[in-house]
Amino acid sequence: MTEGSAELCAERRVYRLYRFREPFLDVETELVAGQFSDRYPFVPTRGITGYRTGPLGLGHVVFHTHDVRGAVAFYRDVMGFGLTDYMGWADAEAVFLHCNPRHHSLAIMNLCMGRTSGTFNHLMVEAQEYDDIGYAYDVARDKALPMIMDLGKHTNDHVHSFYIRTQGGYGLEYGWGGRLVGPDWQVRFYDQPMLYGHRTPA
């Protein structure tokens, strides 16, 4: 683990920063303290209501690893994440973890779908209003963006969303309506990821 320079802290707008190579996902990871806040809130340039962040953080990320059990133990026992849900379908296995009231900020998957260890599956950002998802879906269709999954709703976090493929090759999930977890949350197991929709376009 190394401490970030003053220049890097200024770039990240944090008081202190430490970097380390995460041992199971094999990704560069940064721990920060003392995040600076802007005087003015973010205002979207397009006519949408904005994003559900604040105490819920950015959204969530999903990675693949060769050692799901080891990665889950690391994030739970070392990093302090809480266990939210398990999911298994076809050859896929996923474990969902939270570090704030959002249903999950991190999901860890096995080496399914032809993925290798450390592969970044997708990033999710959450809209404030459901209509924002519909507007964005129309824009994505009109611009013929590469769609990974059409509109649908997940079983575990209840998010309504769609997925596009970014230029970097990973998925971007744009969603709304995610569940929150609290101290009385009961861990569940799901045998499929969607309640409806989320079909792969032909």
pTM of the model: 0.93
Confidence at 45, pLDDT banded by 50, 70, 90: confident
> What digits encode the pLDDT tens for the residues 151-195?
999 999 999 999 999 999 999 999 999 999 999 999 999 999 999
For the chain, the average pLDDT equals 94
Whole-angstrom CA distances from 152 to 2, 121, 177, 196 are 42, 18, 12, 5
Among 23-27, 35-39, 119-123, which stretch is predicted with the lowest mean pLDDT? 35-39
Domain coordinates in residue numbering, the chain = 1-36, 49-197
Say which amino acid occupies 58: L
Inter-residue contact 172 to 160 (CB < 8 Å): no
> What digits encode the pLDDT tens for the residues 98-151?
999 999 999 999 999 889 888 999 999 999 999 999 999 999 999 999 999 999
Cα–Cα distance, 96 to 87 (Å, whole number)? 8
The class of domain 49-197 in CATH terms is alpha beta
* Of 195, 110, 87, nearest in space to 96 by CA: 87
